[in-house]
Every structure is written in C-alpha cells, then in structure tokens.
Amino acid sequence: MIFLLLFFWSSVKAASYSCAPQFDELGIPHIKTRSQEEFYFCFGKMHGTDRAWEMDYFRRIAQGRNSEVLGYTHLKSDLMMRFLNIEEKRDSLWKTFPEKYKKYLEAYADGANEGFVTGKKAKEFLDQGFEPEPWKAEDSLLVLLIQSFDQTRKAFYRDYEEEKDKETWGHKAVRLFDEDHLPWENNILKLGEYPVAPVSEKTTTSIHHQLKLWASFPTIFGEETGSNNWVISKKKSTTGSAILANDPHLDLKTPLFWYWIHLQSPEGEVIGGSVPGVPVVASGTNGKVAWGLTNAYINTADAIFISDLKKDDIVSVRPWVKFKFGPFTLPFFFKTFELTKSGLRILPLEIESQYKMALRWTGFALDAEDVTPMFEMMNTKDVTEMNEVLSRTKVPAWNYVFADRSGDVGFRVVGKAYRHTKKLPYGIPLMTLNQIENPEYLAPEEIPHVIKPARQYVYTANNRHWAPDSAFYGGRAYSQSFRGFRIDELLQGPQDARSFKTIQCDRQVVDARFFLPLILKAIKVQEFKGWQLTSDDHSSALPLYRRFMDIMMESWKVNETALYHLLLKPGNVQVKEMKSFLKMARKDVKDKKWGDFHRLGFIHQSKNPEWVFAPEISGPGDNHSVDPGTAKWNADRKVYEQTSGASMRMIIEMKERPVIELALPGLNRNYTEKSSANPWESWKACRYSRVSF
C-alpha cells in the first residue's frame, strides 16, 4: 500500500519530468533532460531503479537502523551511529539550505521514489521481506555526511592508537614512529608550493592496533580507504591535452560503491561516478573540466582528553535501536553514552586515564554554505573556476585534482580542517573544554592547493600534503607514502593515456625495495633471492614476504615506519625472533603462489554470505603497490583475503570532446543477475572500455 501511495504522489509531482536512458555496454545510462530539475529527477530515478538497496543501506547505517532488517550483528554499529546522531546535523543543515538546492534535492527524491517502484524488487529486499522507505530530500545530506565521516575516521583514531604505542614502547615511541626523512618519504606539495616554517617539525603515522572502540564504528567504504589520482598539463602530455587519472581505493564489494551516469541538461552535461543517494558526480567530467578525488587524511577529527570537564557538564544518553530476531523486531536500550552539554561526544575508554575523552569532527561544524558548492562543481568552466568552487566546499575531506580543455591543471584539498602550526603531542592531546569547542580552521588560502604548477603535474596517494618544514601541520593520519613514491617515479618524462594505464596497473611491491635489503642483511632467506619484486599470480616469494612482514609488525606492535627503524640496527634478540617469525611464515605459506594465497571474493556490502553475485578471483596487487590489493589474513583459510583496491580506474584526456576510458570491478546495474560479461577479470587484467560522452 505504501508504494501505491508513493507512486501516486511521485507521479503527480513529477508528471512533467521524463527520463529515457540509453544504456551502453557497461550499463551506464545516458540521459538528455530538459531542465535542471529534470536533471536531478533523472539522477534520482536511476539511483532508485538500479541501486535502491544500496541507498537504503547507506541511509540505515547513518540512522543506526540496519539491525532492524539485517539482524543483531549490526547492533554495535547501530548503537555507535545513534550515539553520533548524524541525523541531528542533517536536520540543522536542511533548515538553512537555500531553496534552489532544496528544489534540486526534492526533485532527486521524487525521482528516487519513482525508481524505488522497480528498485524494491531487488533480491535483497525480497529475501529479507521489506521495502525501502520513501526517500526524503534531506536523506541525501545524511548519506553525504556518513560518507564523509567514514572516510575521516582514521584522522581521530590515530590519536588513540598512539597512546597504545606509548604503552608498548614508552619514551621510545616518538622516535621509533617518526616518519620524517624516511627513504620513501614524499609529499603532495613540493618546495615553493607551500609556506615554510622557521623551525621544521616532525610527524609520523601509526595505524596498526585492533581496538574494540573503533571496531564498533561501521566500515562502509573500507577500514582504511585510500586512492590514487594524478593529472598532467598539456606541456607534459605527448598528445597536447591535459590528462587526468583517478582510481579510488574502496572496499571491493557487491554492489559497486560507484554508479556511473551521464546526464545532459540545458545548463550543461556531466558524466562520471556517483554515490547512490547523493546527486553529485564525485569523479568525472563536464566536457570543460575533469576532476578526480582521493581521501585527504588531513586533520579533520580528533580524540582529545578534556582537562577541566566537570560532572555538571556531562549529560547521559541511552540511545535505543531495534534488531531483527527471527520473525520479531526487538528493542535494545541497555547502553549508556555521555555527551557534554554542548554536544561533544565522550568516547568510551580502552585505556586507563583520569580524563574523559571527547570526539570532535569538523563535519559537525558545517553550515549549508559549506555543502552547496558541491553542486556547482559540475558546472565549472576551467581550473580557475573549479579551484574557487572547491575552496568554498568544506565537507571533510578529499584531495581533488582537475584539468581543463585549455590544458591547465590544479589541485586542492576540499574540507574544513583544523589549523595547526606546530606538531601535536604524540598520543591523545590534553585540552580544556573551551579549547576543544573553539578551534581554528585553515583559511582557503592556507589549505593545501596549487594551480597551474610549474612542474606541470600533481599526484596524490593519501600521502602528506606538506613537507616537515611547512608552516602548517596536517596531523598524522596519512598513509604510508610508498604509492606516492612510485607514482612520482613513474610520472617522470612525457606521458599519454597508455602510460597512465601502465601506472594505474603497476603492481611492484614498493615497500620491498626498502625492507628486503635490511631483512637479507639480518637473516638468510633463500626464497627471496632473484625475486623481481613482482606481485603477479605466479610469484612464490611474495606470499612469504608479506606474511613475514605482517608477523613481524604484529609481534612487535609496530607499523612500517617503526619496523624500518628497528631493522636498521636489529639486536641479537630481534634477529633471533626474526628467524622464528620466518619459520611461522613458511608454515602459513606452504609454498603457495600469490594467486592461490591472495583471494578476492567481492562479498556483498552487508556481508550476508547468502548473497553471492560475483566470482572469487585471485586478487591483483599487494598492500603497497600502485594498483593495491589491501588484504587481511584469514587464519582459518590460511590465505589473504583482499578487502580493497581500485573501485574504478578512470582516465580522461581533455580534448575538445573528452576521451574517457574506464574499468569497473563489477556491474554498474543488474548486479544480482547472471551476466555473460566478466567485468571482474577484465578489471583485473587492466582492460579499459571507451565511454561515450
């Protein structure tokens, strides 16, 4: 009945809208619309038709309501999301949202609800016996906020993990985990592209502890989402046109996180990857400008000890959730959380401390004017205008590279970020409540960016924005910069689309270039002799290397930075332990080849083992290759299960009419149906399809 009413209401409101998609061989819809409202209506209708379950899933994650339909296994994450209460932020944004953009999101919602009439027939809904609730215009803001939070989690839990480093290593931790001046160190902005500080500061990265607190937060896009993007100007291109590449590294699951769509309206056209639920092309082109994004990992969130919090500053809350138990839906409300009166979330502790620990996130400080420029991005005309629009976009936090038809290129961080001119203390900082509630933010001219760089190219790989001598400090959430090191190396010299494909699909085990000599200096490993540092399916050295590296880091409670420092001068005890670790690794590997040892299953986003819509294949790449194969060790199966990698590979050459080449690890639509196509193996083999624009 609800869908009959929904269909009637949507039909009345959208009677003047028409969508007639033409689908290409990749399942990408190409649609001509007659107005900007119809543009957004068709955007919503395609999302609602092809990705209804995914839209509902993302919304339920943000609301803390997945347990209602997926069961008690989602209970902890639902409680944490109720505690975060992102819906409250959505509502405050919506109240002040400009009418122009409200109309666009309302048109999108009308389209989504019309699409749900077909989308509700998805296998997931039928199997679980429920239907998607009507999509509200403001729900798109909810999905945008949860996507942003999910991709900035690492920026606040690194403080907590540093406290664990101090517990393990004491006063040695700061030196041991200091990543300044490592041989693979590189940063996005080069000398002359950022202000230099009078005194240089040090920084580090340490993400390796498995903590219960952070495990309770849902991992939507991946536990450590990354990405590569780079762009070259016409002066560095052999074709005379600027070229852009983007391969976001998200969880490789079914359905795909990206939905590719091509829309035209009287105001222009746009094609690219969008997140179901949000009517924005996050990575793509409008024919005049091309853009691509990566996770910025700049400091946008913190876990902080409050030095002066009083009892009467604390408010207790007891969120409740419903969870599915057989044929019943039961309430759960036995978990109490704490907030400050101003709304700061007080996080449960897993370490001993006399202080309460608060979570602050710049996403909670957003205004409507910080969000609306995202919609303007799709209509920009050149890199100068794109830079201006992105400078006003404060949703945290992404690295954007962009190029235009004139052959110019640029880079800018998008997002509200905390302003620090000095390195924060190692571990969880101690601040007063007033300091926490009144932070400084980087001004648009201070946030990392460069337009028309003299070097003619820019790349990002979740590496640091500034060098250690910068006047600004971006935090310690950045990823190890092995990928950035390799991309920079491969980008030297003239480039074209073919060389871009080679770079995107480069599978060199980059970290082995630095660790293997130190390992072989300490102990003898016959299996590593003659290894060319490849991560192909037939490699017999890589399984042993990766397992050995992981056992060392897990046993010593270090990351790659600290491991490198330890291996520079290992003591007798450490050498003896290394020999023991090698025996353990050999036992786990049992002479397996990488293709047998590194498996990729494209599991369903819900992790429901009954929903299998893709084959298991041998996963490409390795943890630190440019084409990454980030994986977790499964002790029961004795294999590495690949979790994330290139969720799409996109290359755009900015000719008068852009040339777009694309590889997707799955089906853009009809993902539950059997298909004669095998996009998974084509994606692994780095075969691209030309996309019409």
Total residue count of the chain as it appears in this document: 693
What mean pLDDT is reported for the chain?
A: 92
pLDDT at 205 exceeding the cut of 50: no
- The pLDDT tens digits for 285-318 are 999 999 999 999 999 999 999 999 999 999 998 8
Q: Rounded to two decimals, what is the model's pTM?
A: 0.94
Q: What is the pLDDT of residues 138-172, one digit of tens each?
A: 999 999 999 999 888 777 778 878 888 888 999 99
DSSP secondary structure, 116-154, as one string = HHHHTTSHHHHHHT--PPPPPTTHHHHHHHHHHHHTTHH
Average confidence (pLDDT) over 559-588 = 97
Looking at residue 5, what is its pLDDT? 52
Cα–Cα distance between 48 and 6 in angstroms, integer? 13
CB 471 within 8 A of CB 197: yes
CA geometry: angle at 367 spanning 363 and 372, to 5°?
Answer: 100
Residue 181: pLDDT band (50, 70, 90) is confident
Which residue carries 């490592």 as its tokens? 182
Return all residues near 229 (Cβ < 8 A) that are at least 6 apart. 244, 245, 246, 247, 292, 293, 294, 399, 401, 459, 460
Q: In this predicted model, what pLDDT tens digit does every residue of 318-359 receive, in sequence order? A: 888 888 878 778 888 778 889 999 999 998 877 778 899 999
The CA-CA-CA angle for residues 287, 389, 95, to 5°, reads: 115
Strand 243-251 and strand 259-265: the pairing is unpaired
**Residue 63: is its pLDDT beyond 90?**
yes
For residue 200, what pLDDT is reported?
Answer: 41
Question: What gap in Å lies between CA 189 and CA 195, rounded to an integer?
Answer: 10
Max mean pLDDT range (62-71, 73-82, 249-258, 334-343): 249-258
Contacts of 282 (CB under 8 A, 6+ apart): 272, 273, 274, 275, 293
Q: Give the pLDDT mean for 563-585.
A: 97
Cα–Cα nearest to 541, from 505, 504, 502, 585: 585
Q: How far is CA 619 from the centre of its chain?
A: 19
- Rounded CA-CA distance 204/174 in Å is 8
Which tokens go with 623? 């943890």
Q: Is the peptide bond before 255 cis (omega within 30 degrees of 0)?
A: yes
Report, as an integer, the average pLDDT of 662-684. Answer: 93
Q: What is the mean pLDDT of residues 56-69?
A: 94
When pLDDT is averaged across residues 233-245 and rounded to a whole number, the result is 98
3-state secondary structure of 660: strand
Q: How far apart are CA 689 and CA 26, in angstroms?
A: 8
